[in-house]
Amino acid sequence: MPKLTIDGKEIEAPAGTNLIEAARRLGIEIPHYCYHPGLSIAGQCRLCMVEIGNNPRPQIACNIQVAEGMVVRTETAKVLATRQSIMEFHLINHPLDCPVCDQAGECWLQIYYMKHGLYEPRMMDEKVHKPKAVPLGPHVILDAERCILCSRCVRFCDEITGTGELGIFQRGDHSEIGLFPGRELSNPYSANVIDICPVGALTDRDFRFAVRVWYLETAKSICPGCSRGCNIEVHYNLRRPHHNQGRRVARLKPRYNREVNRWWICDAGRYGYKFVDDPSRLLLPARRADTQADEVVWEEIIPLVAARLSAYRPEEIGVLASPQMANEDLFLLRRLVDHLGIPNVDFRVPSRASGDEDRILIKADKNPNTRGAELIGLGPRPGGLDARGVLRAARERRIKCLWVLHHDLLLSAWPEEETREALRALDCLIFQGSNANGVSPSAHYVLPSATWVEREGTFANFEGRVQRFWKAVEPVGAALPDWEIIGRIGEALGMGPLPATAEAIFKALAAEVIAFRGLSYRELRDAGKPVASS
Amino acid sequence: MAELILTRNFHRPDSHALRLYQETGGYEGLQRVLALPPVTIIETVKKSNLRGLGGAGFPTGVKWGFIPKGHPGPVYLVINADEGEPGTFKDRYLLERDPHALIEGMIVSAYAIGSHLAFVYIRGEYVQPWRRFARAVEEAYAAGFLGRNILGSGFDLDVVVHRGAGAYICGEETGLISSLEGKKGWPKLKPPFPAIRGAFDAPTIVNNVETICHVPHIVQRGAEWFAALGTATQGGTRMYSVSGHIRQPGVYELPVSVTLRALIYEHAGGLPDGRRLKAVVPGGSSAPILRADEIEVAMDVDGLKNAGTMAGSAGVIVMDETVSIPEALMVVARFYAHESCGQCTPCRESTGWIFKMAQRIVEGKGRKEDLDTILDVARRGAGTTICAFYDGAVGPYISYIEKFRDEFEALIPK
C-alpha cells in the first residue's frame, strides 16, 4: 500500500484511494461538494483543492489517488485562499434565503461558509434567476437558484438507478438541473437525491416545512420495509411537539453500511414509517365480550390471556407469528409455544399483492425478519398445521383459540370470506400488534405492541445478517415491545421471570439457536454480523 | 516572400477539387509514406518542431508519443475543426479551399498513431466548409485514398465527418470528445489524458486542422526543412487570421518567426485611413492584449509567451484609436459568460459576474472598486478549473484593465 503524508501525518492507504478518503482516515476533512464516494468523480465544484508536493497549482483531491511518497498539504495559506475563493463563487448567485430554506441547519454551504467564507460580499449585481419550487416527482422538489450544480443527483440517476431522468441544461451561470422532456423523477430510489444534495436545491416534499432540522434527534435503526434490512437513521422530533401535527418521527434517512445498502434506501422504505404516529395505533390493551370492548390494564389482561391459552388443548390453539417481529420476540414466543406444546405455529402468511424486487436493494419479501423466524423456528411443529391449515381448522372448529401477531389476515392471498369465516368461528381470538387492522376489531383480546422505533432489538436480513435497531421514541399509550408482552404471558404461565432486556434475551437466543451461536448483542455494533453459515 | 505551403492553391477557384489537388502534387508521396515504419513518422514530426496550431501550441509529435504502445483496442484520430476562437478563421479556409490537404494529413497521421477511424468535428456554423470537406471525403473514398487497403498499403482508414452545434467549449479537446460521444460538451477531468483514454474510452489524439495539414509536407520534405522555416522551438509556417481595423484583412501564411509589426504593416497593409494603432490581440480573443508599443515581437509560441501573451490560434485582432477598450472587454466578457460550459464553479459563476461588472462600467454605473474586484476575481479563479477556458477568459480580463486602466477609470463616476 502506498505510504504518503497528509498535513505531516503519515498514512498508508490502498492504491486507488483518493486524497479525500485518505485524509478522512486521518480525521482530516477536505471540504467538497461534488465528490461522493458512491458516485463517479466529477471534479466540478473545485472546492477540494490541496497542495501536492512542489506543484505550485493546487489540485483537486477527489481526482488524485494516493501515491508512494506523496506529500499533501490541506491547510496551507494557498489552499485556504483557494477555498475562500471557491466559496465566494458558489455563493454569488445563491439566494440569501436560509431562514426559509428547509436545508438550513444541514446545509454544506452554511457549514463551509462558517469556516471558509469571505464574509465581505463583493457581488453587488443582480443575481441570476432560475425556477423555484419545481416538483420533479412525487418526493423531490427543486429550487434551481439554490443549486450549486454539483451534479450528484444527475450522477445518481445515471449511475445508481440507471434511469437518467435528470440533466444539466443551459450553459454558464444559467445552467440548471432539470428533467429531460417527458420524464419525472419517480424511480423507486428518487429521494436519495435529497440526501446527497449538499444544499437546499432538492428538498423532500414529505418532510419540508414540517420540522426545523435542529429540533431533530437521531436513532440508528433498520428499515423494516423488506428483507434487505437497509441501515437507516430515524429522525424524530420531541422538542417541538406542536410541529408536524404531533408526529414524532419526522423522516428516515439512509445510514451507510457497505455490506447492505451502502448510502441508499428505497422510497418505499423511506416513507413507510407513517404507521408509527398514525391514529390507527392501538393504545391500550382491550378485552371484548360480545360487541362491547373494554380497555383494561396489562396487569388485568395478561392473566386472562394466559388463562385462555391454558384452557385449550394444545392442538386447539393456533399461533401466527410474524416476520415483522424481532428475533428477541420470536425467541420468547417459540419458548412459550414449546412450553405449552402448541403444534400449530407458523409465520408465513402470503400477502395478496406480490412484492416488487430489483437488483439494487428492494426485495420481494416485505418483511425484515423472515430469516430470523426461519432460524429461530417459528414454523409448524411435527404434525402441526401451517397458517392456512390453521384457518381451515378454525373454520371447522378444530382450532378454537388463535393468537395472531401483527398479520392482517384479510390482506392475505387467501380468499377473504374464508378468513372472515375462520375468525368468526373462533372461540378465542387474541390479536397482538401495533395498529388496528382487519383482524383486530374481531379480537377478544387486543395486546398493543410498540413499533420498531419505540424499542430495540435485532432483525436478520435475507442474507442472515443480524442487525440491531435502537429505540428512538417511547411507545404510545400502554404499548409494549412484543417480547415484553410475550414474556409477561410466559411469566403468568409459570415459565419463570420476564427477561429484563432485549440484550438478555439475545444472549439466551445465541446460546440456544445454533445459527446465532457466537453472536453478541453488543458486538453486532452498527453494521451487524452474519449468522453462522448453515 | 516565403514559400507558401498550406495556402499555395488558395488563389485557384477550383482549389478544393481532387483533380487540382493531385495536379499540384497531392497524394503523390502517400504510397511511399505508408511504407515507412509509423515510428519513423512520429520521430520526424517530433524533430520538425511542429506545434499544435489550434491554441495550446503543444508539440505534436510528443502528443502522438503518448499513445500506449501496442494498445490492443482501437485508437482514434480526431480532427478539431471546431474553429471558434474569436478572430480566427484559418481552418475555415483550409476546409473550404484545400480539403484534400486535410484528408492526406489525416491518412499520414492516423497511420503514424495506428488509428483506423478518424473523426472530423466541424463547427456547426461552418456550412460551406462542411459541404466542401464532406464532398472531398467522398472523392477520396472513390479514388481509393480512404477505406480499405489504401493504395495497396494494407492500411485502412475510415473518416467520420461530425458537425458540432455551435458551442465554443466543444473546441476544447475533451469538450469536443464529450460532444462527439453524444454527451453535453463538457471538458473531461485529466488525468486520464485523451491519449490514454479519450473518445469512447479509447486512446485518442485530437489535433487541429492546420496542424494536420502540415504533416504530409513534413514527412516528405523532412523535419530539418520544416524546422528551419521557424524558430528554435517551433518549426514551419502558420496561418494568421488578421481582422479588425486593417487595410487587408484575411489569412496570411508566414513563418512563425514573423513579427507582429511586419504582419500588420508589411503583409496586411497597415491600418486604413491613416488611423493610429491602439492595441492588438495576437492569438485569438483569449490572448492577452498588446499595446501599440508592444508589437515588435516574434509571433511564434515562445516569442509571444515571453511577451506576456500567447500565440493561441494566431487570430490577430487589430484595434485602432477609435476602439473603447472597456467596451471591447465587455464584448469579450459577454462572450466568455455566454460560452462557459458551466461545469466548474469558478468559471461558471465569475464569467457572468465579470460581464455584469464590465457592462456596468461601460454604462457609466461602475464603482471604483469594480476594477480591482475584476482583477482579483480573475486571478483567484485562474488555474482552478478543469479546462483552459477560464484561463483564456482571464487573459483579456486582466490585460485589458492593466494596460488601459485609465480608460476604465474615466468611465467610472467619481
A43 contacts B189? CB cut-off 8 A = yes
Assess whether pLDDT exceeds 80 at residue A294. Answer: yes
A89 contacts B349? CB cut-off 8 A = yes
Which residues of chain B make contact with A170, given a CB cutoff of 8 A?
342
8 Å CB contact between A90 and B345: yes
- Please give the grid coordinates belonging to residue A37: 464516494
Tell me whether the CATH fold assigned to A3-79 matches the one assigned to A286-530: no
**Pick from A81, A126, A172: CB nearest B348:** A172
DSSP-derived 3-state class of residue B411: helix
User: What's the CA gap between B350 and B336, in Å, rounded?
Assistant: 10
Tens of pLDDT, residues A80-110: 999 999 999 999 999 999 999 999 999 999 9
Q: Determine the angle formed by the axes of helices B345-362 and A77-92, rounding to 10 degrees.
A: 60
CATH number of the A3-79 domain: 3.10.20.740
Query: Mind telling me how many Å the CA of A254 is from chain B's nearest CA?
Result: 28
Which residues of chain A make contact with B353, given a CB cutoff of 8 A?
92, 123, 125, 173
B339 contacts A43? CB cut-off 8 A = no
Assess whether pLDDT exceeds 60 at residue A522. Answer: yes
**pLDDT on residue A89:** 97
- What is the ipTM metric for this complex? 0.93
User: What's the CA gap between A30 and A47, in Å, rounded?
Assistant: 8
DSSP-derived 3-state class of residue A91: helix
Assess A324–B contact: CB distance below 8 Å, yes or no.
Answer: no
Query: Is the peptide bond between B191 and the residue preceding it cis, with omega within 30 degrees of 0?
Result: yes
Tens of pLDDT, residues B361-412: 999 999 999 999 999 999 999 999 999 999 999 999 999 999 999 999 999 9
CA angle A192, A193, A194 (to 5 degrees): 85
B380 contacts A82? CB cut-off 8 A = yes
The 10 Å Cβ neighbour count of residue A514 is 11
Residues with Cβ within 8 Å of residue A173, at least 6 apart in sequence: A93, A128, B337, B340, B342, B348, B349, B351, B352, B353
**pLDDT on residue A455:** 98
Closest CA to B64 of B171, B209, B195, B175: B195
- Please give the grid coordinates belonging to residue B6: 498550406
CATH 3.30.70.20 fits A98-204, yes or no: yes
Q: Identify the CATH class of A286-530.
A: alpha beta
Query: Mind telling me how many Å the CA of B383 is from chain A's nearest CA?
Result: 7
Assess whether pLDDT exceeds 60 at residue A454. Answer: yes
Proportion of chain A above pLDDT 70, given as a percent? 100
Query: Mind telling me how many Å the CA of B385 is from chain A's nearest CA?
Result: 7
8 Å CB contact between B167 and B339: yes
DSSP-derived 3-state class of residue A88: helix
Q: Are strands A71-73 and A49-52 parallel, antiparallel or unpaired?
A: antiparallel
Assess whether pLDDT exceeds 90 at residue A118. Answer: no
For the residues B347-358, what does the mean pLDDT come to? 98
Q: Read off φ and ψ for residue A80, nearest 5 degrees.
A: -65, -40
**Pick from A90, A124, A128: CB nearest B352:** A128
**pLDDT on residue A221:** 98
For the residues B197-223, what does the mean pLDDT come to? 97
Tens of pLDDT, residues A340-350: 999 999 999 99
**Pick from B343, B356, B373: CB nearest A44:** B343
What's the length of chain A?
A: 534
B338 contacts A82? CB cut-off 8 A = no
A128 contacts B342? CB cut-off 8 A = no
Assess whether pLDDT exceeds 80 at residue A286. Answer: yes
- Please give the grid coordinates belonging to residue A23: 485524509
B351 contacts A172? CB cut-off 8 A = yes
Q: Read off φ and ψ for residue A255, nearest 5 degrees.
A: -125, 130
User: What's the CA gap between B267 and A271, in Å, rounded?
Assistant: 74
According to DSSP, the residues that pair with B272 across neighbouring strands are none
Residues with Cβ within 8 Å of residue A363, at least 6 apart in sequence: A226, A227, A228, A355, A357, A462
For the residues A113-124, what does the mean pLDDT come to? 92
For the residues A190-199, what does the mean pLDDT come to? 98
Tens of pLDDT, residues B262-300: 999 999 999 999 899 999 999 999 999 999 999 999 999
Closest CA to A376 of A248, A515, A490: A515
- Please give the grid coordinates belonging to residue A431: 390479536
B360 contacts A125? CB cut-off 8 A = yes
Listing DSSP states for B329-395 in one string gives: HHHHHHHHHHH--S-SHHHHHHHHHHHHHHHHHHTT---TTHHHHHHHHHHHHTT-SSSSHHHHHHH
Q: What is the separation, in whole angstroms, between the first and last Cα of chain B?
A: 53
- Please give the grid coordinates belonging to residue A385: 398445521
B341 contacts A171? CB cut-off 8 A = yes
Which is more confident, B176 or B273?
Answer: B176
Strands (E), A268-400: 286-289, 292-295, 317-320, 344-346
Q: Confidence class of residue B126 from pLDDT cuts 50, 70 and 90?
A: very high
For the residues A309-321, what does the mean pLDDT come to? 97
CA angle A12, A36, B168 (to 5 degrees): 115
**Pick from A86, A93, A124: CB nearest B384:** A86
The 10 Å Cβ neighbour count of residue A318 is 29
Chain B residues in contact with chain A using a Cβ-Cβ cutoff of 8 Å: 167, 169, 184, 189, 191, 337-346, 348-353, 356-357, 360, 367, 369, 373, 377, 380-381, 383-386
8 Å CB contact between A70 and A53: yes
User: What's the CA gap between B283 and B256, in Å, rounded?
Assistant: 12
Which residues of chain B make contact with A148, given a CB cutoff of 8 A?
345
Proportion of chain B above pLDDT 70, given as a percent? 100
Which residues of chain A make contact with B172, given a CB cutoff of 8 A?
none
For the residues A383-409, what does the mean pLDDT come to? 97
- Please give the grid coordinates belonging to residue A199: 444544499
User: What's the CA gap between B168 and B54, in Å, rounded?
Assistant: 13
Domain residue extents for chain A: 3-79, 98-204, 286-530
**pLDDT on residue B1:** 56
Tens of pLDDT, residues A142-159: 999 999 999 999 999 999
A81 contacts B189? CB cut-off 8 A = no
Which residue's entry shows cell 424486487? A357
Which residue's entry shows cell 373454520? A395
**pLDDT on residue A354:** 84
Q: Read off φ and ψ for residue B355, nearest 5 degrees.
A: -60, -45
pTM to 2 decimals? 0.95
**Pick from A41, A89, A126: CB nearest B350:** A89
Strands (E), A92-210: 134-135, 140-142, 166-169, 176-179, 202-204
Helices assigned H by DSSP within B79-204: 90-97, 99-113, 127-142, 173-180
**pLDDT on residue A67:** 97
Which residue's entry shows cell 461588472? B357
**pLDDT on residue A291:** 72
Which is more confident, A220 or A354?
Answer: A220
Per-residue DSSP letter, A200: S
DSSP-derived 3-state class of residue B206: strand
**pLDDT on residue A534:** 53
CA max distance for chain A? 87
